Structures are given as C-alpha cells and as structure tokens.
C-alpha cells in the first residue's frame, strides 16, 4: 500500500499536467518540499529546554536555535530531513562534557521553526544567517544538513575552520529523480517541474551538487558515511571526497544513515582535537 499511494497521487498530478503543466509542477514540488514529520515531540522538548533559546526571523518565518555554552570552540549542528535539533542529543552531551560551545538549529518546517516547506537552498540561507550571528569554528551537518552546509559555504562568506559531513548526499538531481520515479511522473510533468526549479532557483537542478561545491573549499573536512546506508549511497561520499581537497573519508559499517554511535562520535572528537 505504501508503494501504491505515491503512484496514485502521481497519476493524479500527471492528469492535471495534461491541462496545466505549471500547476501540476507546483503541486509536485510542494509535495516534495513538505516534510511529513520532524516537529518536536514533548519528550524531545524536555532536553532542548536545557539550552538557551534564540529565535531568528527569516523571510516571514521563525528559525529556532539552541545554545549550550562552553569555553572551547563553537560548533554549529545542522540536522537532516524530517528531523530536528534533538537528533544531536548524545553528541551534544559528549561535546558539552568537553566544554565546547554548541549551537543547534531547527531547519525550516522542522522542529520548532516555522514555514511549511523546506529545500536545501532555503536551509543554506538559514545556516548562513545563524552562522553569521554565532560565528562557529566548525559546522557538523547530517544528511541534507551537510549538503546545505556546503551550499551555504559556497554561496556566502562564512569563516569556519572545519566541517563534518555525516551521510551527506551529493547531487540534488539524484534525490529528485528518485522522487519522480517513486511518484511515476510523466515526461510532461517532469519537464514542467524542471522548468519551475529553474525559475525558482535560477539554475538547472544539476547545478546543485555537494561535490562540485566542495571543490571550492579550502578548509579541513571530515566525511563519515556508512556502507549500509540505504538512504544515501556510500558512493555519494566517495564523489564528495574526490573533490574535497582537504577532507578525510571514514567508512563505517552497520550504523545506517543515522550514524548514531560511539564510534562515529569518537571520530568526530578526534577530528576536533587534531
């Protein structure tokens, strides 16, 4: 049933595209950009209340940030799709014990932040806004949080010393192609979506590539990716590593896309202390 429902919705959007490709594309892109989960649960809010909160306003909605104060380097944490700042709880506790100054944000349409839709470009703009205020030395991004971090560093002036990418995807076009295939969009619908993306973001979908953007970075990086990641292929990490001049790639096995493990956290701590 889970596989059938997207096809039914896709068929409906394909039908609309016969009469109004632009409207069909708008619906398809809106569906792609709307997270189904990631809002804060009551149990998660309990931990996040231990932080200092600061809200930022960006293009009409709120971006929620959390701060755990420390005297060492400032680290900014950017979560991934359908998640929120709570996903960093274990890492935050480890970093706090080492007296790092920690900042985490909820992405647009996630956690306690506002807005109804999300995309990596918008997220990169919010990361830039938060980074310019808190001045992090290091940014750690999980999944699309890693991709958006690289987009931000490519588009804006953010003076960080290092970045850590956990399970980060490479090409936006690959993610979107998987979505189109899942929905069963027709060629007419797909072309209309592509035209809308170009109109909205001023570039072809192929432009948005983590590996291509990391080739411009002159900072140290750590890439951690699991061989068993079923969400983002390990080969994405290889492509990013091949273009990222000063990055080290660490391959893990058995932690999946989430990468929540003591081994991963030790790799992070070793990189920070190097």
Tell me the domains of the chain and their CATH numbers: 1-33+172-206 (no CATH), 41-168+208-273 (3.40.50.1820)
The whole-number pLDDT of residue 97 equals: 96
How confident is residue 82, by pLDDT bands cut at 50, 70 and 90? very high
CB within 8 Å of 272: residues ≥ 6 apart: 73, 75, 100, 138, 162
Give the global pTM: 0.95
Percent of the chain with pLDDT over 70: 99
Low-confidence winner among 31-40, 216-225, 256-265 (lowest mean pLDDT): 31-40
User: Is 34:116 a contact under the CB 8 Å cutoff?
Assistant: yes
Mean pLDDT of the chain: 95
pLDDT in tens, 38-80: 888 899 999 999 999 999 999 999 999 999 999 999 999 999 9
């Amino acid at each position: 049933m889970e596989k059938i429902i997207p096809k039914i919705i896709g068929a409906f959007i394909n039908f609309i595209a016969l009469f109004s490709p632009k409207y069909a594309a708008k619906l398809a892109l809106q569906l792609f950009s709307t997270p189904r989960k990631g809002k804060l649960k009551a149990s998660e809010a309990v931990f996040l209340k231990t932080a200092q909160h600061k809200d930022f306003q960006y293009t009409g909605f709120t971006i929620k940030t959390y701060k755990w104060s420390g005297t060492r380097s400032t680290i900014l944490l950017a979560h991934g799709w359908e998640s929120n700042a709570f996903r960093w709880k274990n890492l935050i506790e480890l970093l706090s014990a080492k007296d790092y100054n920690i900042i985490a944000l909820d992405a647009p349409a996630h956690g306690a932040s506002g807005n109804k839709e999300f995309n990596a470009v918008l997220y990169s703009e919010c990361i830039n806004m938060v980074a310019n205020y808190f001045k992090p030395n290091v940014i750690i991004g999980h999944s699309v949080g890693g991709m958006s971090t690289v987009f931000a560093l490519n588009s804006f002036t953010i003076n960080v010393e290092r970045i850590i990418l956990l399970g980060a995807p490479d090409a936006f076009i690959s993610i979107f192609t998987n979505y189109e295939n899942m929905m069963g969009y027709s060629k007419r619908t797909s072309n209309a979506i592509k035209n809308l993306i170009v109109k909205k973001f001023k570039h072809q979908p192929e432009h948005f590539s983590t590996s291509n953007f990391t080739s411009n970075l002159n900072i140290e990086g750590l890439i951690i990716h699991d061989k068993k990641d079923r969400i983002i292929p390990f080969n994405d990490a290889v492509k990013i590593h091949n273009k990222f001049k000063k990055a080290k790639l660490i391959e893990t096995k058995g932690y999946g896309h989430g990468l929540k493990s003591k081994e991963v956290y030790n790799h992070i701590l070793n990189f920070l202390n190097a």
